[in-house]
Amino acid sequence: MLFAWLPGSSLAWVVPASVGVVALGAGAWILAGAIRARRSPAELERRRRIKLHVVGRMGEATVEQADAETLRYCYEIAGVYYSTSQDIGALAEHLPAPPHLLIGNALIKYHPQNPANSILICEHWSGLQAGRNASERGESNQ
């Protein structure tokens, strides 16, 4: 017999032990989900930006408006035109220039399965070309 070395001759303990192990695993899975759900909106947005940086494809965009909090831009992927914005309030230290100098050509990273999900800048990458755009328009960075 396979379990002959265990104390007692019956296997009545196997079913409750198995149920207990499954319940413990389910509880751990639910607890991990609850911890993930507690992430702040700012943390979720940071993770979205970093994921796009890692898995995103690059494309060309035009920054149409820029202020201290928001960049508004448009781009075209596979014949579909997108016009969107990115909140840059948390990324001020990563901007290559003052916001008003960011208007013009830029690069984006977009999600291959959802091209509407895009970024111009994140903590580890920037598609903003402020210096080049300003010099093309005859402006100075001073």
Mean pLDDT of 103-123: 95
Q: Report, as an integer, the average pLDDT of 7-16.
A: 65
pLDDT in tens, 35-69: 767 888 899 899 999 999 999 999 999 999 999 89
* More confident call, 137 vs 112: 112
User: What's residue 2's pLDDT?
Assistant: 60
Q: For residue 117, how many other CB atoms are within 10 A of its CB?
A: 16
Residue 62's nearest CA partner among 127, 141, 135 is 127
Q: Region 18-38: what's the mean pLDDT?
A: 81
Average pLDDT, the chain: 83
Q: Which of 31-35, 50-54, 76-80, 117-121 has the lowest mean pLDDT?
A: 31-35
pLDDT at 7 over 90: no
